[in-house]
Structure 1
Amino acid sequence: MEPVVLFVHPDLGIGGAERLVVDAALALKSRGCRVTIWTAHYDPNHCFSETKDSGIPIQCCGDWLPRSLMGRCQALCAYLRMIFLTLYIVFLSGEQFDVVFCDQVSACIPFFKWTRNPKKVLFYCHFPDQLLTQRISLLKKIYRKPIDWLEEKTTGMADCILVNSHFTADVFKQTFASLSQVEPYVLYPSLNVSKFECDLSEDLNSILPLSRKHIFLSINRFERKKNLSLALEALCRLRDKLDLLEWDKVHMILAGGYDERVAENVEHYQELKDLASQFKISDHVTFLRSFSDEQKLNLLHNCICVVYTPSNEHFGIVPIEAMYMQCPVIAANSGGPLESVVSNVTGYLCEPSPKDFSNAMERFVKNPNLKITMGKSGHKRVMETFSFEAFSDQIYRHICKLTVSPLLS
């Protein structure tokens, strides 16, 4: 009998973590597992399309709890929301399951382990949470101390730990010193290529001037850590490298996840618009918020390359999506892109500076054939290394290991 898997996730929106959770659920469902997703927040108008038409049940509980306290204590609130959700599942929901798949917030793990009928838990570590926030003030350091301790202790209680790259595996070992005996397994995120099968004939003239032939695309949430200002600074420097006729054919689209409930999204979106105005490149930049899957695929199909700006990104699914769509990638030479992008073959890995990024962008303007040659190489690499079939096989294997009786292993 196939395992019954319960997914527990904080907020089922449209970020990279949510993409992996949805793909993992679809992968296990395709292998015959019965899958249910529980989350503290789910908005059918702000989600991946598969969550609405895949047949996977999605249950929501605890959204009435605050996400922050007057804009602060977001980590504490996230922990409390997940603990409340877990307690509801364990004691009130009546759910029957064999394995729990959780990610992002490990504080829920003990409550699945300390029940009368303890459950096996698989934890997917996108990146240690304690490294995603700055400790500028003494008060912030004091506030984070018990949260960091709890993250490390509860993460170590999982029966299986997966990470999204060898880069994250190394960071995991360096960060969680008490878990030196734990060997996390690397499971690269993948692409479910079925969602890439759609009409790619959408006309972009509604958002682009007719003369723009060299379209650079950035896809990321409107968050400061994504370093989107680098894309605008590189575009500004590129302008100085081109003559007027060449520059008139260049355009950049900054497309990204945007949630009006998240103050940083709202603030940083305006900061970027102001920066484009300051650089006098506003008429060569389009901002696109919370686009559909179909729009994203059409953008990838029509752009000359993707400009991926985060440094030390844990993995980054956008370069994989771009390469599958035969679109080269310019990315910072750190973190996950070192494992996904092959420099000078499927794109360019650069120092995260306007000078280096603009030099790479100039190559695509001067030699448009790079889009074709590098695009083909990128598509081949995705099919060989990041296929949904390989991802499905690996995650199903990990789930089955957790459900095998000790007497049979």
Structure 2
Amino acid sequence: MFAMWDVIFGKSANRRFAASPTAPKLRVAFIHPDLGIGGAERLVVDVAVGLQKLGHSVDIYTSYHDPKHCFEETRDGTLRVHAKRSFLPRSLFGRFHVLFAHLAQLHLTLGLVSGDEALKYDVFFVDQLATCIPILRDAGKRVVFYCHFPDKLLAAGEYTDDDTKKRPVGLLKRIYRVPMDWLEEVTTRQADTLLANSNFTVGVFKKHFPNISTVPRVVYPGIDGAAYAPLSRAESSTEDVQRVLSSRPTFLSINRIEGKKNLALAVRAFAGARATGDVPTLRLVIAGGHDPRLADNRATLDSLLSLCESLRLKASVLGQSGGPMESILDPDPLARAPDATGYLRAPNDGEWTRAMLDILNLSESDRAALGKRAKKRAEKLFGLDAMAREVEDALKQTVEMGPLRARNSHGRRRRLKFC
């Protein structure tokens, strides 16, 4: 048991959702560390907009929000965003990112509860960092926590469940991670409701957090199908689009430009496919968010360019002056099976080179059928409407658990529970 309270500084706004005229509306507050342009941020924005369309009141609290590097809904008035920047740095000499992220969230949350701002909300939706959960519950607030993926498993880079293939971690980092991993588990455990982005994440969660008895409920991230409509002639003629458009056979990788995404795997697998000489015009396009503020993003881009140079691949960097494994079914070594929508492979260069070559060898009819199955599955499982309804249901069930007592009989806050 620890008493920390006194020790820590004392585009899509047109999406359609049918609001029910009789159901009670909720006042929901989101807490998210850094409201940039990553996948987690896209989910937060989509859930928040979806809840608003269902008639609920939504506010987003974050420690950092740059109007020049964010999703449109967070700056055009669609969503109410409250950025309360911490006085703390993001890191110390490029290290201790997780520690400072925890401290920034504590700074944000303590500011919310100390001024009684948190009292006006029925429930909190928290993701990425669970540090604030004990504080919110101490203030009498119910919390829904959305698990993207355990941070403890990404600390050394990309995740692999094969112990023989995991990157070695130095002694000092292992020592540093002990309290960070402990804090992640004990704070996550105190959420009233746990959600996860896929059954895969649920399985990993159960394996690596054995002391948490609650099994997260799966709520798939939503996809705005309208965003994938064909470009107009005017849109297609812009310089950025013209530099990417090509009739050449193209593989596309969409991920943030950061180390844990293991983008080097795509480059090495692509180099292997090119080396066969079967398709000399083959190309790879890597697209994703890149934040020059982050040392990891800068280092990852530099390492990818160096890797391309070492593999004798010509690389061009184009910049505009912004999914769960269940999205793929792979019941057969080839993507020609009746239900197949893609490939699931271990993070191995050779395996992905073979997968790329198999894709290249698909007939036009097989490739069209594969795309049709993939689109149908995405529309069925990853709709924005379904996601908003699932989160709404989880929030309502959490509120129905009843109020928490915020203060003891002497008018002082209860001791925060960290065990």
1:385 aligns with 2:381: yes
| Correspondence list, 1:275-294, <5 A | 275-282=307-314, 285-289=315-319, 292=322
RMSD between aligned alpha carbons? 2.3
Secondary structure at 2:250 match in 1: strand
TM-score, normalised with respect to structure 1: 0.80
Q: Displacement of 1:394 after TM fit? A: 0.9
Q: Residues 122 and 405 of structure 1: is their aligned pair in 2 closer, same or farther, counting only changes over 3 Å?
A: closer
Q: Note the C-alpha offset of 1:255.
A: 1.4
Superposition TM-score, scaled by structure 2 size: 0.79
Does residue 11 in structure 1 map to residue 34 in structure 2?
A: yes
The within-5 A match list for 1:129-148 is 129-134=151-156, 136-148=169-181
Partners in 2 of 1:15 and 1:206 — Cα distance?
24
Task: Tell me how far apart the structure 2 counterparts of residues 235 and 150 of structure 1 sit (CA, whole Å).
Answer: 39
Q: Deviations over 1:88-124 (max 9, x none)?
A: 1112373521100011111111111112xx0110011
Q: One-letter code of the match for 2:176? A: Y
Q: Which runs of 5+ in 1 are unaligned?
A: 293-315, 317-335
Note the 1:5-404 alignment, pairs <5 A.
Answer: 5-53=28-76, 55-92=78-115, 94-95=117-118, 96-115=120-139, 118-134=140-156, 136-180=169-213, 182-197=214-229, 199=231, 201=233, 202-203=236-237, 206-208=242-244, 212-243=247-278, 246-248=279-281, 250-282=282-314, 285-289=315-319, 292=322, 316=323, 336-337=324-325, 339-343=326-330, 344=335, 345-367=340-362, 369=364, 370-404=366-400
Q: Which residue of 2 aligns with 1:325?
A: none
- For the 8 Å contact 1:258–1:265, the answer to whether it is kept is yes
**Does the CA contact (< 8 Å) of 1:61 and 1:85 recur in 2?**
yes
Q: Deviations over 1:108-147 (max 9, x none)?
A: 11111112xx011001111222222138233323322222
Alignment match, 1:331: none
Q: Deviations over 1:291-317 (max 9, x none)?
A: 94xxxxxxxxxxxxxxxxxxxxxxx2x
CA contact (8 A) 1:254 1:287 kept: no
More helix per residue: 1
If asked which structure has higher relative contact order (CA below 8 Å, sep 6+), I would say: 2
Flag the structure with larger Rg. 2
SS in 2 for 1:348: coil
Specify the SS of the correspondent of 1:122.
strand
Secondary structure, in 3 states, of the residue corresponding to 2:243? coil
- Count of residues in correspondence between the two structures: 355
Letter in 1 for 2:328: V
Q: Percent identity?
A: 38
* Partner Cα distance (1:88, 1:107) in 2: 14
The equivalent residue for 2:160 is none
1:242-295 per-position Cα deviation (integer Å, ceiling 9, x unaligned): 34xx313x221111211111111111211111211221121xx44345794xxx
Deviations 1:179-223 (A, max 9, x none): 23x12211111113344457354246742586x521211111222
